[in-house]
Structures are given as C-alpha cells and as structure tokens.
Amino acid sequence: MTSVEELGKQMLDAVTAYVDRTALAIVARLNTLDKRVGEIPAGPCGQKGDKGDAGERGPVGESIRGEQGIPGARGEKGDPGQAGASGEKGDPGTPGERGAKGEPGEQGQPGARGESGAVGERGEKGDSGAPGESVKGDPGPQGERGEVGAKGEPGPAGEVGAKGDQGPAGKQGPPGAKGDPGAVGERGLSGSPGEPGPAGERGEMGEPGAAGADGGPGKDGGSGRDGASGKSAYELAVEKGFAGTELQWLEALRGKDGKPGEPGAAGAFGRDGRDGKDGDTGRDALVIDILPGIDESKSYPRGTFAEHRGGIIRAIRNTDPITDAGLETAGWVVSMNGIDRESEETLDDGRTIRRTTHYTSGRMVVREIKTSALLYREVWREGEFERGDVVTWGGSAWHCQIKTTDKPGTSAAWRLMVKEGARGKDGKTDAPPAAREPVRLK
C-alpha cells in the first residue's frame, strides 16, 4: 500500500469515527427527550386553531465554512437506536435500472390453465439430429428351385404397335444413267465473277493463218529436241481466276477495232525472194505467264498478262505508265473484271447503309440499303416519321409502322409499345403527426 493510500484510509477512518460519535450523542438526547415527553400527563384536547399567516422569509444567512479540523480518533460503534415511526408514503420515484437476473427460484405449483395465446412466430430450424444406425439383418437361406411348368398355349396376336422411329440412312446407291441434255435456255444476265472452274480440254487446232512475207534466207540451225506440250493461255487464265468458257476467253482477248488507216502509196513490184528454209518448231502460242502484279510507273511489252486490282489485265501494245487517265489510255485492257475494294458507311439518318464497290476497270458502284432499325426520335412533334421510328407521346412509347405525318394514337401508322403506368396517390405532407399512446410504467 502506498503512502497516499494509507493517508486516505486514515482520513476515512477519522471521518467515520466522528460521524458515529456525533450521531450517538444525538440519539441519546432524542431518547431522553422522548422519555420526558412520555411522562407528561395528557391534557384535554383543545380545539384546532386557525392557521396563522405565513411569516416573511428571513434573509439568507451567510455560509461561512470553517477550516477543516483534525480528524479525531474513531470511537466504538454504538448500539442501534429504536426504529422511528413510518413516514407518509412518498411520491413514486423514477424507475430504476433493471437489476441483474436473479437465481431461478424453486418451481411453484402448476396454476390453472389459461386461455390459448396467439400463435407465436415460427422459430428457427433446429440442428439436424445425428443419423441413426442402419441395422441390416443377415440374408436368409436361398429357397429350393421349383419344377419347370408345362408350356402353355400360344396367346392371341397382339395389336399392331405404333410406327417406330426412322432407321439410319442406307448406303448410297450406284449413280444413275446420264440424262439427255436439256434445251438451251435464254441467256441470263451477267453475274458476278464466280470461282475459277477446272481447266477444259484443249481444243482442236485452228485453220492455218495467211502466209507471211518472205523472210531473208536464214542459216541452217541444228535440230532441237521436241519440247513438252505447254498449257494453253486459257488454262493459265483459269488457274489465275478467269471464270468462263474458252470462247469467252477468246472474246476477251480480242481488242477493239482501230480506225481505218489512210491508204498508202503503191510500192514498186519487188523481185521474188528465195524460199527460206524451215525454221525451228515454235513455242505453243498459249504458253503465257501471268504476272502477280505490275509497277504502275513502268512500261510492259505487248501481250503481257498481269494480276491487277483484283482482276487480270492484258497489254494490247507496249504500255505507258498508268496515270489518272485509266488503264485503256496506258495500253491495257481488262480481261477479268474483279473487285478491287469495298467500303461501307452509315448515313446521318442512322438507318441507311451506303456500300461502295471499286472494280478492276475503275468502275465504281454505290448501293444504299435502308433498314428499319429502331431509332428514338424523342417527343413527337409535327413532321414526317419513317418505319422504325420510336417517339414518346401522352406518357407512352409509340412505334412507327409506315411513313406518316399523323399523331400517335390517331391512325394505324403508330403502334403502342409501352403504355403509360397508373398514377400513384399524392402523399399528405401537411398532415399533423399521429398521436401516440403514452407509455405507462407498471
């Protein structure tokens, strides 16, 4: 124990002794006074006097606090005094705090059965009990097998059952005989270039061309080896993507007829030249290479085939560099018109799609596709609306079925999409708060 704690304990003991000593003296005096009053004989009971006037309130005296005296020694504890008379019942005090839960008392005698109370709320589900043990008995002995009975008479035929599911497909049968060729139909419109078909068989040799001018005598060349037969130009064009028959291919090779030239002056008759010796066997005229691409700033010799902007082009003369003037001006013709590039864009109306296609020949095709996509046009106002437009009017949403200038709800051009909901009741914000029953403490 510290010195401060010990000093506090001494002071507390001194104050307690002083109080006990003072209280004991006061109790002794009260007992003596009560004894003397009891010895006085009782006189006649007089009449109750009038109530006197209330005196004036005296001045408040000064409160002078003296210095604290030195605590005296604690005296011995006196005997308890006699119990005083019971005072009048005071006003009920404020409810005290709830005390701690006391120990449970002994169980009382069962009371009379009261009336059934209201059904209480359903309690929480209790924990599942432990699973019970499963007791399996031992298997009994197997019984003896009975004798086979005699075969019974066949029963009547049953009803026809429902049709069963279709069975798996059978193996493919042998190909049928080739049918007769159909009649030639009318020529249809030119379609877009299809996928290149397989190379056709080589056609028969054409009629010999006109004799050329006699050349000068050439030197005898050595006999060369026979070369392997090369692919025809049509076969090579098919491999590079040409779609069509050989006749169509030949038509594509035919250039445009030039303007007739002015007749030249008649030349002098020349002497007949000597017959030249036969030259070496020439290459097949249809052996043509198709370039995978060209440099537009360069020139190419006549007869050159090349892939260009999704198609195939052919030089009809020694070409010039390609400029903005186009392929034909530079000496090229389009043998197979393919697609160079395509682009799409959505117009400002939000519903029209514009597709632009550029071909090998430089031709440009623009197509516009109009859709009926849903577009919100805000609140309806006078004007023209198209199919797919959505507006709000009268608290509801309306969808336009056909082009119209009518107001929603007045014609079949509009169809109701979302109907206006029911309006709720107005809240009472100015009503006074409901009076509450006072809480009564028992």
Q: What confidence score (pLDDT) does residue 175 get?
A: 67
**pLDDT (tens digit per residue) in 314-335:** 999 999 999 998 899 999 999 9
CB atoms within 10 A of CB 397: 16
Neighbours of 357 (CB within 10 A): 15
Beta strand pairing call for 290-291 and 305-308: parallel
Mean per-residue pLDDT pooled into runs of 10, the chain (442 residues): 79 84 82 81 68 69 55 64 62 66 67 61 62 57 63 63 64 65 57 58 60 61 62 78 74 67 66 65 61 93 93 95 92 93 89 92 91 88 92 93 94 92 70 60 58
- Rounded distance between C-alpha atoms, residue 420 and residue 442, angstroms: 56
Query: pLDDT tens digits, residue range 327-370?
Result: 999 999 999 999 999 999 988 888 889 999 999 998 999 999 88
What's the rounded Cα separation, in Å, for the pair 17 and 11? Answer: 10
Q: Is the pTM of this model over 0.85?
A: no
pLDDT of amino acid 344: 92
And the tokens for 186? 């009318």
The dihedral of CA 250, 251, 252, 254: what is its sign? positive
220: closest CA among 158, 280, 291? 280
Residue with tokens 């060729």: 181
Using a 10 angstrom Cβ sphere, with 0-12 exposed, 13-18 middle and 19 or more buried, the burial of residue 306 is buried
Which DSSP state fits 57? P
The single-letter code of the amino acid at 411 is S
Cα first-last separation, the chain: 48
Q: What was the pLDDT predicted at 320?
A: 95
Instruction: Give phi and psi for 372, each to the nearest 5.
Output: -115, 40
Report pLDDT for 282: 47
C-alpha 386/C-alpha 403 separation (Å) is 4
Q: How far is CA 328 from CA 277, 315, 317, in A?
A: 40, 9, 10
